[in-house]
Amino acid sequence: MDCKHCIYTSSDNRGVFDITVPIIDSETGFSGPAKLRCSVSPKGHAVELLEWHDFNRHLTQSIKSLQQRVSAILTFVAERQVCGNRNICPSEVIHIVEENSIS
């Protein structure tokens, strides 16, 4: 997942926002944008995969293993609270995370 190329798309103004981020998987050949829904609160972060598209327009050989790897990445991003990182996130995301992560 290429977080440095994350694009903010929308927010509900209550700590939930959508982004689009490229995913490249060398093992399966998958390459394309993923739409994610991120939720932030003082209790933590959650990241959910809404959809993804393969730019190469081919069926991946091992879609289940790809789903497992993407799920693991999203869990890592949520647990490490990567969303809101000032070095890689769009300013809209930084602002939303800062406003909704305060206890």
- Report pLDDT for 6: 93
Q: How confident is the model over 15-65, as pLDDT tens digits?
A: 999 999 998 888 777 788 989 999 999 999 999 999 887 766 655 445 677
The dihedral region occupied by 54, where left means phi > 0, alpha psi between -120 and 50, and beta the remainder, is beta
21 token code pair = 């981020």
Domain annotation for the chain: domains and CATH numbers: 3-100 (3.30.530)
pTM of the model: 0.84
- Report pLDDT for 68: 85
* Average pLDDT of the chain to the nearest whole number: 86
